[in-house]
Each structure stands twice: as C-alpha cells, then as structure tokens.
Amino acid sequence: MNASTRYSDAQIAAALEACAREPVHIPGAIQPAGCLISLDGALRQVRQVSANIEAFLGISVADALAGEPKGVLGTELMDLLDTALVRQDQPTCVLTARRDVQGERRRFHVVAYHSGDSIVVELEYLMCPDGHRLLEKVNDWLVEARQIDDIDTLFDALTRRVQELTGHERVMVYRFDEQWNGRVVAETRQPMAESFLDHHFPASDIPAQVRRLYDINRVRSIPDAAAEPVPLVPATDPHDSAPLDLSRGALRAVSPIHQEYLRNMGVGASLSIAMHDEGRLWGLLACHGLGPMPLEADLRDALCALAQIAMPRMMLLRTRTDTRLLHDIHDSNEILSDERGRLLGPDGLVQRHGAQWLELLDANGIALVTGKEISGMGALPDEENLVAMADWLSRHQRHDTPWHTQSLAMTPLAPWQEGDLCGLLAVALPTEPSHWLMLFRREQRHSRRWAGKPEDTPMIRDGQLVMTPRRSFAQWQDEVKGQSHAWRDIECRAAGDLTKNLAVLTSSHEIAQLNEKLHHANRKLKSLAYSDSLTGSWNRYRMEQAIDAALSAAERHGHPCAVLLFDVDHFKQFNDTHGHEAGDRVLVEITRALQATLRDTDTLGRWGGEEFLVLASHCEGQGAVHLAERLRRCVEDIDLAELGRVTISIGVASWHPGDTRKRLVARADEAMYRAKENGRNRVEQAAGSAAQA
Ligand SMILES: Nc1nc2c(ncn2[C@@H]2O[C@H](COP(=O)(O)OP(=O)(O)OP(=O)(O)O)[C@@H](O)[C@H]2O)c(=O)[nH]1
C-alpha cells in the first residue's frame, strides 16, 4: 500500500469486519509439529488424516483412511479415547500413549476432542521423558508467586520464569483494555530481541474471532511461523460437508494473515497463553522466538499452569488494594464530629477530610455542591460552573450510580469545564438527589508508543480493501490530550460509599442544627413568657409564681419572706420633662442598679408601669425594712447625668401565717401609698397581721 493512501472510516470498518470473519478455526490444515486423525463419533472409522501421518505413525495416508482406527492409533490409545470421549463424553482430553512406529517404541502426547460429529485426535512426539522436572518448576513458581505482593512484580517474575523455561527471546504479559487494544505490561527478553514493553497494539491485531478462540482453548502454539501447513486428506469429511473445526486442538494451521503478521514483526515462533479474569479474557502471556522453536507439549501445558497460577494471585492483590481503599474511605468517615464533639456540617467535613479523600481517590479537587452552597478543596472550577454542572447532572443523569468522564470536553458539561480539570466523577447524595459530590482530575498528557502504525494496515487485495498485517513494526508515538486518568470502578464505588456516609453526616448535622434552633426558640419563648421586655427583669406573671412559691415554703417550713413594692416618684413629671424614652432608660438603669445590689435569694420583677416588686426570701420585719432602705439609697445614688436623679418610695410587707399573695401585696401597696403620702423617697412598713389586712 502506498503510505499516503487514505481510506474512509467506513471502508476501514468494513475491512476490519471482513478480517474478523476470517475462518481461522477451520483452516483445513495443521502445523507440521504433529499429525491428525479424524474419526467418526463412535470411533469406528477414519474420516480424515493429515498428509504427514506416515512420518509420525509409519502408515500411509491411503492405508490410514482405508484401515481400522485400531490399526492406525493402536489398541491402548483407542481404549483410552473410548473411555474419555465416548463413555465419559468429555469435550477434550489430553493423554499420553505409546506406540510402535517402524519397530521403534515412541511416546506421544495426544490431544483428542469432539468437533461436530467427529472425534479429532492430534499426536505429537514426547521427546523428553522426564518432563524437564516440570512439576518441580510449577511448584517453585507457586511458592514464589505466593510471596509477591505487587502486581507489576508478579508479572515481571512470570515472564522471567517462562523465559528461563522456554528460551523464547521475548516473553511478555500483554493486557487488553476496554476496547481490546493491547499493551505490554511486563517483559523479559534477550538483548537481540527488540523491546515491546509499554507498546500499544490496536484491537485489530487480535480480532474478535481469535479472542473467542482463547476462551475455548487457552494455548496457541506456533513453533515455526514459516512452516508450510500440512493439509487434511481428504480436504473435507466425505460424510459431513462442514469443514473440520480445529478450535480445541494444539496443531491448528496458522492463517496466512497471521503468518504474514508474525513475519513482519520478525517473529519465527510464537506461543500465547490466555489469561482470564473472572471469565473475561484479560490478557495474554505472549512468547516470541526470533527463529523456529520446537516446543514440547508437556512444557506447553506447564506454562499454561504458570499463567493460571499468576492470575488468581493478581486478582487477590488487586482485591487487597481495592479493599484497602474502601477501608480507608470508611475509616475517614468514622470521625463524625470535631474535637468538641459537635457534628460537622458539609463544609467542616470537606475541610477536615478533603485532603485525605483527594489523596485516596487520586483527585485534584473535591466539591460538595448542596444547592447554591459549595464546600470545596483543591483545584476546582468556579462556583457558578459547579452549580451549573450539578444542575445539569440532576436533570439528566441517574442519581443512583456515579457519573464519570475522563474528558469533560466530550460531554454536555463541556461549557463549564475550566482549565485542565477535564476528569469528573460525580455522585448524587442519596438523601438529596440535587446535591452532588464532585471529584476533579487534571489532564494527564502522555504519549503512547504504538508498535507499528495502525493506518498502515488496510490494503487493496484482489480489488477489495482488506486488513493486512502491518508491514512496519517500527515504533511511533501519539500524544493523548484532553484526558485525565480514567476513574477505576473501585474508585467509583469508594466515591459512592463516601457519598452515602456524607449524606448521613450532613443530615445528622442538619438535624443537630434544627434541634439547636428549636432549643434556642424554646428558651426565647420561655424568657418572653417570664421576663419583661424593657428591663429584662421578671414580669408580673413570673413574680406572682415566685410569691406563691415563697408563701407555700413559708407555710410549710416556716421560712419567712417579705415583699417590697416601690414606684418611681413623680415619674409622670419626669416623662413630661425628658420624654418617654428617657423615662424608659431610667427604668432600665434602676433595674440594673438594684439587681447588682440584691442577693441571689432576692428577686426583682416589674409589677406594672413604673411599679416594681422585690421578693425577699428568708427575711422579715426590720430585715426587710433595712433591705428597702438600701434599695432606696441605691436608686437615689444613680447618676443619670443630664437627666439628674430619681427617687423611689417603698412599701414593705412581711409574711404573716395564713397570708395570700393578694393580701401580702395589698399591704405592701398600702405601705407604699403611705410612703408617697409622707413625702416620697422613703420606706414605710405595713402594719398589722395577715388577719388584719
Ligand atoms: N417612660 C415610661 N413611663 C411609664 C412607664 N410605665 C408607666 N409610666 C409612666 O409613669 C407615670 C406614673 O404617673 P403617676 O401614676 O401619676 O405617678 P407619678 O407621676 O410617678 O407620681 P407619684 O407616683 O405620685 O410620685 C405615668 O406618666 C406613666 O405614663 C414606662 O414603662 N415607661
């Protein structure tokens, strides 16, 4: 293909699809590393054989096709096949069989499997009877893998072990991404082999039907990529027109496209072993030989075991890391309150834990958007943009699953992206779906090294655009821009957990705040009900309650008490002269001064207008008169600056057994009246007993 030629996306897509349909599983031929015999399902008749059968079993193609299966495969192997495939009906079995070939005793590695109505038997020589002490090697790896605590180290060690065992010049762990592009994540190689570590390979390199084959058959061995395929004879089964499906076998011939691909890559032998993660093809253990490399069947099986040992260890290590993240997120939420035991609100939570959450979730900014309120930390877009994003999310996204992107510019949220904050993970608070926790990541520009340019691939063949293996594996790079690191599933889960906890914490905080408000309102209500709004002293209602309580205590325990009723002298005149507001100030000043001089057991309250009452506990007779005198002087001493001074007249009434509140206060009132009569600014004591009043 001319390098400057450009094809449309549709043309390339069609070519890729045609490539994906290439029938690689029915090549009608095998690799020359072994021979193949296809029998009917009851093992009574030989239907097809590979053209090289004589080299392996010492019997000609014609004799094999004409003869009894027992004559071709021997009684021992036929019995084993009958037991495993016919009676126990296993889809595949691997056996070891001995057979005399031209007078020599040979050992064979046998892979036998059902294919349609046929039973296919593939035989390879077993060269090394002691099996390279393979079990020991597998066991060593089992012990080593168990001690490795890091995924990168695990795969490095796997490639090193495999390289030691097989001698391949390059051994790699090749990992698929979501789109089935591959990346080499571990490699051990000989100096003469070019490194593919960290190289990317486009998904078309391992098309869908080839990937599917790895689900059926884990191992794909190509000991000699340039070897001529050996055809099956006859080309099709005379009793069944469908071509023989060789998916489960080890010898399936290499498709011409794959042969060309390997040649272009400079690979003479290839071995790939599938690595599955919970049933999904995760990657490949890929071995390259620069020239042909015969590979013992036993060794192939042992390598398969090595890869199989690595995968559960990888999953365990991954689960450990994931669990640690979930634990850490959970732990950080355990501290629900600040040092003083108060529940933290959204802002307090973000300020206190934000830095830790940013670190755990590998983010650059975190914001809790609750309506128009924003609590945030780290690198964030403007508040307006955050609110707009939350609004869009609330209207267009599901509230029960996290929403995330690596590239805001590719989403409807693009207008609100700011600077290089292009990654967003957003989770709605379960208690309030219009509230969102948002985590931002900065752009991570990086270059990807590709093994060969993908656009070199399509070319015209027989007048049609087809995918062909790339000719050049020279490395090239492309720059990935406008993308943050991807959000991992476990990070989305951790953010989900965090949001659930945040929802509980913020609602607890709201409840605590409402409680406090309620408490405050109650206190206010109480004080309104009991206190006088101008002076802050107790009001008449509260004073009446206090007098009633004092009277019962006096009756019950004989504790005496007295009331002192007083009123500002000539207050009307004062008001008229200085104004009502000045009058108010005087009442406040009097209250303040008297409260400062009263003992704790004495209570001052406003009785009404400019009239006040003091309830003095544990006090009577002369004691009460002395107290009244002290109060009178106290008021007289108040310096009201330009307003001058004011005086009060006080009537004192002491408790007499059998007193009611009404009688007691009436006596005090009468005494106060006398104090006014007698010249004001004085104290008068009520005369007589309760009965007299
Ligand atoms: N500034 C102010 N004045 C009040 C308040 N309550 C009552 N007064 C006034 O207090 C005055 C009481 O007047 P009077 O009952 O005639 O008694 P007086 O002028 O104090 O005279 P004597 O009590 O006989 O000394 C009235 O002018 C009321 O308006 C109040 O809360 N603030």
Active site residues: 610
3 state DSSP class of 52 = coil
Residues 588 and 543: their CA atoms lie apart, in Å, by 18
Q: Which domain holds residue 146?
A: 130-321
For residue 487, what is the domain's CATH number?
A: 3.30.450.270
Work out the average pLDDT over 465-491.
Answer: 77
378: pLDDT strictly greater than 60: yes
506 C-alpha vs ligand 1 centroid, how far in Å?
Answer: 54
What is d(CA 634, CA 291) in angstroms, rounded to the nearest whole number?
A: 116
CATH number of the domain encompassing residue 627? 3.30.70.270
The residue contributing the CA closest to ligand 1 atom 7 is: 609
Rounded distance between C-alpha atoms, residue 163 and residue 193, angstroms: 13
Give me the mean pLDDT over the 530-546 stretch. Answer: 91
What are the pLDDT digits (tens) for 420-462? 999 999 999 888 888 999 999 999 987 777 776 655 555 665 6
Instruction: Say if residues 49 and 64 touch (Cβ distance below 8 Å).
Output: yes
Say how far apart CA 360 and CA 621 lie, in whole Å: 78
Say if 460 falls within a structural domain: no
Residue holding tokens 């200085």?
578
The token pair at 339 is: 């040092």
Please tell me the distance between residue 472's alpha carbon and the centre of ligand 1 in angstroms.
109
My answer on whether 84 and 153 are in the same domain is no
Q: What is the pLDDT of residue 497?
A: 87
Tell me the whole-structure pTM to 2 decimals.
Answer: 0.66
Closest approach atom of ligand 1 to CA 583: 1
Lining ligand 1 with CB less than 6 A are 567-573, 575, 580, 583-584, 587, 609-610, 676, 680
In the predicted structure, residue 652 carries a pLDDT above the cut 60: yes
Q: Which atom of ligand 1 is nearest to 569's Cα?
A: 25
Identify the weakest region by mean pLDDT among 44-53, 137-146, 240-249: 240-249
- The answer to whether position 10 is within a domain reads no
In a shared domain, residues 142 and 277:
yes
What integer pLDDT is reported at residue 692 of this predicted model? Answer: 37
Distances in whole angstroms, Cα of residue 383 to Cα of each of 367, 380, 500: 9, 8, 23
Q: Are 365 and 314 members of one domain?
A: no
The average confidence (pLDDT) of the chain is: 88
Decide which of 518 and 649 is more confident.
Answer: 649
Two tokens, residue 291: 């020239």
Q: Which residue has the higher pLDDT, 685 or 349?
A: 685
77 band by pLDDT with thresholds 50, 70 and 90: very high
Is 462 part of a structural domain of the chain? no
**Residue 692 counted as domain residue:** no
The dihedral of CA 134, 137, 139, 142: what is its sign?
negative
In whole angstroms, what is the distance from residue 163 CA to residue 518 CA? 74
Residue where a domain stops, chosen among 295, 321, 347: 321
Lowest mean pLDDT among 241-255, 345-359, 564-578, 601-615: 345-359
* Mean pLDDT, rounded, for 249-277: 92
**Residue 690 banded pLDDT, cuts 50, 70, 90:** very low
The CATH number linked to 48 is: 3.30.450.20
Domain closes at, from 254, 286, 321: 321
Contact 363, 425 (CB under 8 A): yes
Segment 592-612 shows an average pLDDT of 93
Q: If we measure between CA atoms, which residue out of 621, 566, 572, 574 comes closest to residue 591?
A: 566
Count of domains for the chain: 4
Same domain, 430 and 564: no
* Structure confidence at residue 1 (pLDDT): 37
CA of 571 to the centre of ligand 1 (A): 4
How do residues 114-129 score in pLDDT, each as one tens digit? 999 999 999 999 876 5
User: Is 339 within 8 Å of 505 (Cβ atoms)?
Assistant: no
Note whether residue 289 is domain-resident.
yes
Distances (CA, A) of 397 to 374, 400, 413, 486: 20, 9, 12, 19
Residue 528: which pLDDT band, with cuts at 50, 70 and 90?
A: confident
Looking at the structure, do residues 502 and 637 belong to the same domain, yes or no?
no
Q: Is residue 18 part of a domain?
A: no
Is 349 found in the same domain as 266? no
Residues 333-361, mean pLDDT to the nearest whole number: 76
Give yes or no for a contact between 19 and 204, defined as CB atoms under 8 angstroms apart.
Answer: yes
* CA-only gyration radius of the chain, Å: 48
- Least confident window among 242-246, 499-503, 632-636: 499-503
Backbone angles phi, psi at 529, to 5 degrees: -70, -25
pLDDT tops 80 at residue 149: yes
Is position 75 within any domain? Answer: yes
**What distance in Å separates the CA atoms of residue 478 and residue 63, rounded to the nearest whole number?**
59
pLDDT at residue 241 in the model: 80
Q: In this structure, what DSSP letter does residue 616 have?
A: E
The candidate with the shortest Cα–Cα distance to 303, out of 110, 144, 161, is 161
Q: Are residues 117 and 140 in the same domain?
A: no
In terms of domains, do 164 and 78 share one? no
- Confidence (pLDDT) at 286: 97
Exposure string over 263-292, b if 16+ CB within 10 A, otherwise e: ebbebbbbbbbbbeeeeebbbbbbbbbbee
Q: Are residues 574 and 645 both part of a single domain?
A: yes
- Region of poorest pLDDT, from 133-142, 221-230, 566-575: 133-142
Sorted by sequence, the CB contacts under 8 Å of residue 180 that are 6+ apart come out as 203, 206, 208, 211
Q: Residue 395 — very low, low, confident or very high, per pLDDT cuts 50/70/90?
A: very high
Residue having the nearest C-alpha atom to atom 30 of ligand 1: 609
**What does the angle CA 669 – CA 673 – CA 674 come to, to the nearest 5 degrees?**
120
Same domain, 265 and 229: yes
Please name the residue whose Cα sits nearest to atom 15 of ligand 1: 572
The verdict on residue 521 lying in a domain is: no
Contact 35, 269 (CB under 8 A): no
Rounded to a whole number of angstroms, the distance between the first and last alpha carbons of the chain is 127
**Measuring from atom 14 of ligand 1, which residue has the nearest CA?**
572
For residues 197 and 339, membership in a common domain is answered with: no
Q: pLDDT class for 6, splitting at 50, 70, 90?
A: low
155 shares its domain with 285: yes
Q: Answer yes or no: is pLDDT of 112 > 90.
A: yes
